[in-house]
Chain A
């Protein structure tokens, strides 16, 4: 009896968690438990219901969504949706949610110290004046725990870097001493090197505080390194659940295997990335039977008749699949021979000693790069290193203070630029398309700028990027992120440019979609003889797409060469740091 109660108090449980929206069930019958001091990873593509699971467990579902099921945190049960009183008791000391974007999760008009103090005050109650000094001391102690100096207490969030801000947010979250910390993509907005630090910090704090942690992420590498158990979600359902080591290294469910396989490796370049075709079905539009059947290579007739339930499988895991009976051997696609020689021909593009400053701050200290015909060149660096500024100068979206952009040997001026020279695919697929313009109209408009003698049609372009011709009548809001990015690529290819700049074009996408877009880009490159300038912070992605890379740090090129050589034997400490941050 006592033993049972103790076990109860030492874990966090969610039972038959279901979240219902206007269109149908978004999360269905999800159950998990985590012992205090352990971490559960939740992975899946966007639209799989990860974030809403986190919101349901912390009682923060947006209006219009309804949750049922039970959440039990260290002995306190709440039957969902739960009254505001019940949640007020449970939040803070019970459960705390750490969000992705430290820019919006901290109040911009209050000092960081005050924001940590609020949590403390809520916990110990607003007491007499005597405690103010204590609270201040406690705030500094909490900041110290996340390796921030005491001075940060007096700073506003806007005065801190992204990594420091996320640390301050962690300090505020932990000030309540929660039993359960839910971290929803806590490092996605950070640089690779910061990601690693913040993640290690979270793991060590979790051990010290003996909390349970739920880590939600689309990054399998990150989940593999930190979590004890993992829950793979697809279309609102748990499809595979169990010990992290077993699930991620020997996946049984085809979806887990697909996610694993589409994660690009950094140590070699694959001929072709493995993808999961299609997209996550929306709530209310899920097919009968197994939701994953349409995208599954192992699907049989049985999969479309009935829905598989979670059943115990090898290594203490549970899997919801009729057909897969054992670990799926991960296909190892052939690596490409990267021996490649830069041609002796005159470069297509030459940026010569480009200098650019913003408000007196130098962003580029005289950067020079070259891109030859048909070549794919990567530019890698942390955020703030100047890589995007360089791309914008080359594209003509910013005017360099000095230096030259030469295209086929002539200096590009505003007047000499034409649409068939350089086009850009931007990072955010959601703002890259005019929300009030149909896809067909957007591509047709771009096509009119083509000077080709045999102009393509809108249908040609949609076909080229792997979208059905019926998409012409759709608005961007009716498309998924990956589909929008395809449209953006189609539009940028319409004027037949010779150089395509991809500015972090795949970093906002899920790994499975990222692999699709990367494959598409290499196909287009071969088909059209396109040159690529690929800007990214992700070295594994760059390895897959670029022949040569430039490493940029604080507005200076610090290293350059063949991608293979630079990643195998980096000469600069900065490059080494970028590489170890990714490979952990």
Chain B
């Protein structure tokens, strides 16, 4: 016990210098992304305006650092303006799926038995659905709307969250502190919210951030297939698909959004890692 305690306390000292750098870099990247998402349309109000005379300019053209696409839209302006639609939908996806996952995961893990059986089979069923096909079908029925795609992704992501939360709950409920709460005849809701949820928080947070990174990619991929975002909207995924057609005249048209997606997704993942490492440190207090 003493030995454990000391290792966990001591370990950060060894790596103390490296983690803040990663953490700060991630926070700067995400801060910039947030800024662009909130104020991008103010910086470049005419980012989506078509200007056919200036179409397909290569990178480095005067006034267009990364050139333009086939509709003559500036790549830099379009990318900044597209931040909001690229990043907000996934945020809703990750948040919504966390809420569903927490709610049903707690129910299944806490009550087990029949509740668990029903919920687990339902999640199995959802897990078996092919995402892309489902996206195309939903788009066919409701139209290729951004918010319908968001809802679809919540439904697709939630089963994983339910499983993860359920596993976390099952691990916790046999611990004496939960059994003591049961013996005090506390209400199940109180046990779940006041005792289980706080101890599941590191798991939830990590999962939320991982989901967010995945949702950015999933949404971009669906936009790439023309499902998520309407044509003409500023969106990184949309830019990827449109840029493919002019890959040779202006490669930056698809490379720029691709790099942005990768950078933001990585920043989110590394942030999750950094927070987890801090948690392990705190756990050994």
Contacts and interface: CB of A to CB of B under 8 A. Distances in A.
A492 B10 contact: no
A132 interface: no
A444 B152 CA distance: 44
A413 to B, nearest CB: 13
Given A26-B6, A52-B3, A64-B13, A435 B199 contact: yes
A183 B81 CA distance: 66
B185 interface: yes
B1 A434 contact: no
A269 interface: no
A64 B183 contact: no
Nearest to B282: A477
Contact of B11 (A55, A63, A478, A494): A63
Interface in B104-121: none
A65 B10 contact: yes
B61 interface: no
A64 B284 CA distance: 13
B7 A62 contact: yes
B175 interface: yes
Contact of A419 (B13, B185, B199): B185
Given A64-B11, A417-B185, A419-B184, A436 B6 contact: no
B9 A22 contact: yes
B2 A423 contact: no
Interface stretch (A242-250, A425-433, A463-471): A425-433
Interface in B142-189: 175-177, 179-186
B9 A64 contact: yes
A426 B185 contact: no
Given A51-B3, A62-B7, A478-B285, A418 B185 contact: yes
Interface residues of A, number: 46
A21 B4 CA distance: 12
B2 A51 contact: yes
A397 B183 contact: yes
A477 B285 CA distance: 6
A431 B10 contact: no
Contacts of B179: 397, 424, 426
A100 B115 CA distance: 40
A495 B6 CA distance: 37
B147 to A, nearest CB: 36
B195 interface: yes
Nearest to B10: A64
Nearest to A435: B199
Nearest to B199: A436
A71 interface: no
A30 to B, nearest CB: 15
A426 B283 CA distance: 21
B185 A433 contact: no
A483 B179 CA distance: 20
B198 interface: yes
A4 to B, nearest CB: 36
Contact of A52 (B2, B13, B177, B184): B2
Contact of B177 (A47, A63, A434): A434
A492 B182 CA distance: 11
A108 B280 CA distance: 25
Contacts of A64: 6-7, 9-11, 13-14
A239 interface: no
B3 A492 contact: no
26 contacts: A22-B9, A22-B13, A26-B2, A46-B1, A52-B2, A63-B10, A63-B11, A64-B10, A64-B13, A397-B183, A422-B183, A423-B183, A426-B176, A428-B176, A431-B175, A431-B177, A432-B176, A432-B180, A433-B177, A434-B195, A434-B198, A434-B199, A445-B184, A445-B186, A449-B184, A449-B185
Interface of B: 1-3, 6-7, 9-11, 13-14, 175-177, 179-186, 194-195, 198-199, 201, 283, 285
Interface of A: 21-23, 26, 46-47, 49, 51-52, 55, 62-65, 395-397, 417-419, 422-424, 426-428, 430-437, 445-446, 449, 475, 477-478, 481, 488, 491-492, 494-495
